[in-house]
Amino acid sequence: MLDDTQPYADQGHSCCGASAPATKNRFNLVLINPYELGRQPFALAEASAWLKRAGCEVRCLDLALQKLEPAVLAEADAVAIYLGMHTATRIALEALPRLRQLAPQAALAAFGLYAPMNETLLRGLGVTAIFGGESEPDLVSWANALRAGNGSTLAQATIVRHDKIEFLTPDRTDLPQLARYAHLVLPDGTTRVAGFVDSTRGCKHLCRHCPVVPVYEGKFRVVPVEVVLADIAQQIEAGAQHISFGDHDFLNGPTHALNVVRALHACYPQFTYDATIKIQHLIDHAELLPELKRTGCLFIIAAVESVDDRVLDYLAKHHTRADFYRAVGLVREAGIALAPTWVAFHPWSTLDSYRDLLTSLVELRLVEAVPPVQLMIRLLIPSGSKLLELPGFQDLIGAFDQKLLGYPWQNPDPRVDALQREIQAYVAQAEKSNTPRRETFEHIWRLTHEMAGKPMPSLTGRDLGQPIPHMSEPWYCCAEPTEAQLEGF
Ligand code: SF4
């Protein structure tokens, strides 16, 4: 694996398209996104802008909404698959054999967080070039080398970079219409077309369970404000009425974040947005919350993960249960809705700790703010996870499972795993039938108390909180893919 200390020139290729050795006039490159949480993918649009500037003919296929198109793939000289998360990688592994049938002539690359982490597996399925981190310059170099008939070195490369790179205005012209992606759902049931923007990549934190960490190692990169605004403008032109920031943590660079939302609000005062912000940042930058509200922030997603301080310490989240309770108050005070997310089941879960999690949501009136899928999520332990370095952790898990793309584990109490399976089956059904969140929660509440053999406090008449704005996509990056997702290409 090459590292990012090596300048591009040392590898015998340029970092941009300017000096492309154009020995092949037309070079067809297909970019594929298996899944991106219902978002129109920034990663494909940014790569597309770079590759088009370098002279490639680029087609994008978003498998969340499109199929592998035989006619497009038959013409491809190269195909690059974006693996930004677990679900996407599972789908890609299922899709790769068919992809190779449809494009036997094409060189294959994978890029995104999960590409370097699954290098061996991907190579076994015919992927030869693997790029992680700030990959656009390497994608261009790879395409240029292939075009010049000299792709052999890069075609075998695994390159992870954190260099500061140029950001271009993402080219979204070849992606499905914005209105076909996840939309904003308001508490009254009305919907708004949402645009999807990244204002940073990577993360400056080192949470042990997080797949960003093995690739970015505590670094984040800023997309210039003018590029973010140009991307927002083109999505507003395409019908967006709300902007969803896809940054791993929107307040990694608080000054940058403020510059972005102030500029957004100055240009489009009627526009709303949402962002993901960690609990620690909500507390450390509490003074910014009123400004986020003023500039149109409708809701904040926070990866709380657990209300058990011992588990939060294992995960190196740098917040406590008390911090979470405090952050709920601060965000509410600012008039913004909070949507906490969870790693609901892990090897340290007990029936009591899971009951405690549910009880916290009741106490804090957050039941309507939590998508039910969040209440069934099992800890994923991908290749390269920093959890593997936690003393004693390897005793809790099995050998790496290539099908699951992770290290399997079982809870020491089989009743906890049985409960998780019951909840998972129920939630999948409830999502299909649009069961209200409160009703789903009440069912999970009952299942949990029955499994624990504990008396069940009644929820009848309790204020469990009001529905909050949310995105229509019910699935999450840490959830296992559904059968439909695995077969949908
Ligand atoms: S969990 Fe969130 S804050 Fe922690 S490293 Fe990952 S992206 Fe950063």
Query: How many Å lie between the centroid of ligand 1 and the Cα of residue 478?
Result: 13
Predicted pLDDT of residue 380: 92
| pLDDT, mean of residues 467-484 | 72
Q: Which residues contact 480 (CB under 8 A, 6 or more apart)?
A: 86, 87, 90, 378
Task: Show the tokens assigned to 112.
Answer: 């995104």
Q: How far apart are CA 28 and CA 26, in angstroms?
A: 6
What's the pLDDT score for residue 475?
A: 57
The sign of the CA dihedral 290, 296, 298, 304 is negative
Sign of CA dihedral 262, 267, 270, 271: negative
Helix (H) or strand (E) holding 272: strand 272-276
120-124, 259-263, 276-280: which has the minimum mean pLDDT? 120-124
Those residues whose C-beta lies under 8 Å from the C-beta of residue 359, and which sit 6 or more positions away, are: none
Distance (Å) from CA 253 to ligand 1 centroid: 13
Q: Is the pLDDT of residue 131 over 50?
A: yes
What is the CA(208)–ligand 1 centre distance, in A?
Answer: 9
pLDDT at 10 over 50: no
Nearest atom in ligand 1 to 213's CA:
5
Enclosing H/E stretch for 221: strand 220-222
| pLDDT given at position 36 | 86
| DSSP letter (8 states) at residue 307 | S
Residue whose CA lies nearest to ligand 1 atom number 3: 205
What was the pLDDT predicted at 21?
A: 45
Residue 5 has pLDDT above 60, yes or no: no
Q: Which residues line ligand 1 (CB under 6 A)?
A: 203, 205, 207, 210, 212-213, 248-249, 278, 303
Cα separation, 262 vs 432, in Å, equals 39
Atom of ligand 1 nearest to the CA of 278: 3
> What pLDDT, in 10s, does the model give residues 364-391?
999 999 999 999 999 999 988 999 999 9
In testing the pocket of ligand 1, which one of 210, 284, 285, 319 has its CB within 8 Å of the most ligand atoms? Answer: 210
What pLDDT does 483 receive?
Answer: 62
Rounded distance from Cα 247 to ligand 1 centre (Å): 10
pLDDT value at residue 20: 44
Q: What is the pLDDT of residue 11?
A: 32
pLDDT for residue 54: 96
pLDDT in tens, 440-455: 999 999 999 999 999 9
- C-alpha of residue 387 to centroid of ligand 1, in Å: 13
Distance CA 118, CA 81 (A): 13
Q: What is the pLDDT of residue 9?
A: 30
Question: Domains in the chain and their CATH numbers?
Answer: 8-161 (3.40.50.280), 185-342 (3.20.20.70), 344-469 (no CATH)
H-only helix segments in 279-410: 279-284, 289-294, 309-314, 321-333, 351-363
> For ligand 1, what atom is nearest to the CA of residue 206?
5
Atom of ligand 1 nearest to the CA of 248: 7
**Nearest Cα residue to atom 4 of ligand 1:** 207
What are the tokens at 19? Answer: 């000096």
Name which of 11-15, 65-69, 240-244, 298-302 the model is least confident about. 11-15
Q: Quick one: pLDDT at residue 6?
A: 35
Three-class secondary structure of residue 11 per DSSP: helix
The Cα 382–Cα 89 span in angstroms is 11
Looking from the CA of residue 212, the nearest atom of ligand 1 is 6
Residue 326 has pLDDT above 60, yes or no: yes
pLDDT in tens, 169-216: 999 999 999 999 999 999 999 999 999 999 999 999 999 999 899 899
Give the distance (Å) from ligand 1 centre to CA of residue 207. 6
Cβ contact 244:269 at 8 Å:
no
Per-chain mean pLDDT for the chain: 91
Ligand 1 atom closest to Cα of 211?
A: 6
Q: Whose CA is nearest to atom 6 of ligand 1?
A: 210
pLDDT average, residue stretch 460-475: 90
Q: Residue 488 — pLDDT band, cuts 50, 70, 90?
A: low
Angstrom distance (rounded) from CA 248 to CA 251: 9
Which pTM was predicted? 0.91
Q: With beta carbons less than 8 A apart as the criterion, state whether 142 and 115 touch.
A: no
- Whole-angstrom CA distances from 12 to 6, 132, 438 are 11, 19, 59
31, HSE (Cβ side, Cα atoms, 13 Å): 30
What's the gap in Å between 227 CA and the centre of ligand 1?
24
Q: In the prediction, which pLDDT does 281 show?
A: 98
Helix H segments across 319-455? 321-333, 351-363, 414-432, 437-452
With H, G, I as helix, E, B as strand and everything else as coil, classify residue 301. Answer: strand
